[in-house]
Amino acid sequence: MGGNRLQEERKIDKQSFEVLFRTYYPPLCAFARKYISDVDEVKDIVHQVFVSLWQRRDEIDTDTPLKSYLFTGVHNRCLNYIRDRKKIVQYDNPQDVDELREYLQSHDHLESEETLAKINNALDELPEKCREIFMMNRFDNLKYREIAEKLNISVKTVETQMSRALKTLREKLSDLIMGLIIFLLNLF
C-alpha cells in the first residue's frame, strides 16, 4: 500500500503540469525557433508536446527529468515538421539553384576542409566491415546483392551493416546536416 501511494505522488497532476507549462513553454518555443521560423507553427509544436505529456502522464517515468522529455519531444516534432514539409525540394526557380551554388562556393577553403575532415573522421570511426560495406555501396555504387557476393556474406548482413553505418553517420554529422537543412529552409 505504501508503494502505491509513493507511485501516485510521482504522477503528474494538474498543478505540477501547470508549473511545467509556465516554466518550460517560453524556452521550448525559443528552442523550436532555431529550427522553424514560423511562430505559429512553433507554438503549435510546443503545445502538441504538452498535450502529449498530459495524455501520457500516467505512463511517463517521472524519475527521469521531464525537461529532457519536453526538449526531446519538441526537437523530434520540429524535425518531423521539416521532413513533412520538405520531402521533395523542387528547384523551379533557376535563381534558387544559383543562390544555392553561390552559397556553397562562398564557403572558404578552410571550412570545406573542416567539413571534409569531419566526414572522414566519422567514416573512420565506423567498424572496419561496416565502413567497407558502406564505401562499396556509396562510393563504388554496388548494390547490396553485389556486395554480399563479393564479401561472401548474406544480403541481410549487408542491410544491417548499412543501417548501422547510416545511423552512426547521421549522429556524428547531425550538425552539418542540420546546418544544410536550415540553409535550404531559409532559401525557399
Interval 74-104: pLDDT, tens: 888 888 888 777 653 444 444 555 555 555 5
Q: What is the pLDDT of residue 159?
A: 93
| pLDDT higher than threshold 50 for residue 2 | no
Name the architecture of domain 2-85: Orthogonal Bundle (1.10)
**Residue extent(s) of CATH 1.10.1740.10 domains in the chain:** 2-85
**Residue extent(s) of CATH 1.10.10.10 domains in the chain:** 94-187
Rounded Cα gap, residues 154 and 54, in angstroms: 46
Q: E strands within the chain? A: none
| pLDDT higher than threshold 90 for residue 156 | yes
Q: What is the pLDDT of residue 64?
A: 66
Q: How does residue 152 score in pLDDT terms, banded at 50, 70 and 90?
A: very high
With 0-12 / 13-18 / 19 or more C-beta atoms within 10 angstroms meaning exposed / middle / buried, residue 98 is exposed
Q: Which three cell numbers stand for residue 37?
A: 521560423
- Read off the pLDDT of residues 100-130 as tens digits, 9 standing for 90 and up: 555 555 544 445 566 667 777 888 888 999 9
Rounded Cα gap, residues 171 and 9, in angstroms: 37
pTM of the model: 0.43
Q: What is the pLDDT of residue 158?
A: 93
- Read off the pLDDT of residues 39-76 as tens digits, 9 standing for 90 and up: 888 899 999 888 888 888 877 766 667 888 888 888 88
CATH code, 94-187: 1.10.10.10
Considering the chain, what is the average pLDDT of its residues? 75
Higher pLDDT, 112 or 167: 167
Specify the DSSP element, H or E, that contains 52. Answer: helix 39-55
Q: What is the pLDDT of residue 81?
A: 82
